[in-house]
Structure 1
Amino acid sequence: MKRAILGTAVLLALAACGSREALTPPPGTSMPPAAAGDPTPPTAEELVTPDTQSRPARSDELLRRSEQRKDDRFDLPPPG
């Protein structure tokens, strides 16, 4: 029981360590250069925001009726 309480306390302490200040490059370094054809280099916020291709929208389309699956010739049993 004591271990569970200690573990929970440690996890809560680690969760509270997050920083909420603006992202900046480490001292002595600079931001990445602008891409070819881009007039300005990207900001830190633009670099950490995923684009739609890397994080596509979720499809919430519901099944309207039951359908049989088509035969999948690549659905093979494991070897051995």
Structure 2
Amino acid sequence: MTMYRSPVALALATALAGCGSTQALKPAPGTPLPVAPYGATATPGINDLLTPSVQARPRRTGEVLTRSQERQSDEFDLPPR
């Protein structure tokens, strides 16, 4: 009985992964878009709401350090007791 559980679960997961919708997202019929945020001049569109802001997804830089510096001693960096 346990031998069949793994292939059945794998087949079910594969079938569910392939049934995603590829159509554009739209609000439900009769449901308006959210109201404009406080201070905004216009209500954001669907694409504006689905695009993450720079704060939500910051860009990564390839080089973190631009120059190497020696660390200063930290008198509060003590070993555990």
Task: Give me the TM-score of the superposition, normalised by structure 1.
Answer: 0.64
On the 8 A contact 1:24/1:44 being kept in 2, the answer is: yes
Note if 1:46 corresponds to 2:76: no
Superposed CA offset, 1:20-58 (max 9, x none)? 11111112111123344434x222122111011111012
On the 8 A contact 1:23/1:45 being kept in 2, the answer is: no
Q: How many Å separate the matches in 1 of 2:8 and 2:40?
A: 54
Unpaired stretches in structure 1, ≥5 consecutive residues: none
Identity percentage over the alignment?
41
Deviation at 1:73, TM superposition (A): 4.4
AA at the equivalent of 1:38: T
Q: How many Å separate the matches in 1 of 2:31 and 2:62?
A: 44
Superposed CA offset, 1:50-69 (max 9, x none)? 0111110123327797x779
Q: How many residues align?
A: 75
**Per the alignment, do residues 70 and 60 of structure 1 end up closer, same or farther by CA in structure 2, a change over 3 Å counting?**
farther
Superposed CA RMSD in Å reads 3.3
Q: What SS class does the counterpart of residue 27 from structure 1 fall into?
A: coil
